Amino acid sequence: MHLRPSLGCLIVLGLLPFLCAAQTATAWPEADRLFRTDPRWLGGDGAFSVDLGDNRVLWLFGDSFVAGKPGQQRSESNMPRNTLAIQTGYDPSRASMKYYWRTRRDQPDSFFQEQGENWLWPMHGVRLGNHLLLFCSIIGPDKSPKSLGFRGVGWTAFLVSNPAQDPFHWVIRRIHPPVNPWNVMVGVAALLEGDYVYLFGFDEPRHDAYLLRIAVSSASAGNLSAFE
C-alpha cells in the first residue's frame, strides 16, 4: 500500500467553502415513514447507503435498537452493533424496506458478528459488477479516563459475490487489509469512477482525511494491497 498523507487533506480543504455554505432542510414525512415500517427495528446510528442497481438500495447501520418482539420500546430492546436493510424502489416516499440482523440465543444480534471484545461499525461500500465491496471499522473498548468507552482499532472489508440475493443468502468473504503506517481507516466513502474505486479514509486518533484509489479489477477480486 502506498499513501500520500497530504493528498486527502488538500482536497477536503478545497471543498470547505462549499461545505460551509448555508443550507436549509425541511422534513419529508412521506419518506421518513420508510424507516418506521418494521415494528422491531426502532432506529440505527451512522447510516450509509449503497445503490445495488435494479431498483434496490442497501442501507448499513451501526448501533441499532431492535426489539425482541413488536410493541417493545427502545429501553427494552437489544442493541446489535450493526444491522442492514434493503430498500426496494428509489423514491423513498413510495419504496419498501426490509431490515436484517442475526439472532443469537433468541435475541437480536449483529449482522456482522463481533470478534472477541471488538465489534464492527459499517462504513460505506460500492457495487462492482457482480460483486459488492463493503467496508467496516473495527471498534474496541477503551477504558482510559477521558474516552467515550470505545476507540477505532482497525478496519476490514467484506466482498459479497451474490449481492442480488437476499442478504441472509449472501456469500460473504472477509478481506483482511494490509497494515499501513499512518493507521488509516479506509472506506468511509466510496465512489466508482471509470477503472478505479476512489475512497476516503481517516486516521486515528486525529481524524485527518485521506483520498485513496484502487483499480476495480483488484477490488472486485478482493485484493486490497494495491491502494494508491
Is 121 found in the same domain as 87? Answer: no
CA–CA distance, 34 with 182 (Å, rounded to integer):
40
Is 60 found in the same domain as 138? Answer: no
Which residues of the chain, if any, have pLDDT below 50? 1-14
Is 40 found in the same domain as 120? Answer: no
Residues contacting residue 178 through CB under 8 Å, at least 6 positions apart: 1, 224, 225, 227
Is 118 found in the same domain as 87? Answer: no
In a domain, 24, yes or no: no
The confidence score (pLDDT) of residue 21 equals 62
The confidence score (pLDDT) of residue 17 equals 55
Is 91 found in the same domain as 170? Answer: no
The confidence score (pLDDT) of residue 133 equals 98
Residue 142 C-beta-side C-alpha neighbours within 13 Å: 13
Q: Which of 96, 111, 126 is the last residue of a domain?
A: 111
Is 129 found in the same domain as 90? Answer: no
Q: Answer yes or no: pTM beyond 0.85.
A: yes
Is 127 found in the same domain as 88? Answer: no
* C-alpha cell read off for 136: 467496516
The confidence score (pLDDT) of residue 145 equals 85
The confidence score (pLDDT) of residue 143 equals 86
Full residue range of the structural domain in which residue 145 is found: 114-221
How many domains, the chain? 2
Q: Are 100 and 84 in contact (CB under 8 A)?
A: yes
CA–CA distance, 64 with 84 (Å, rounded to integer):
10
Is 186 found in the same domain as 122? Answer: yes
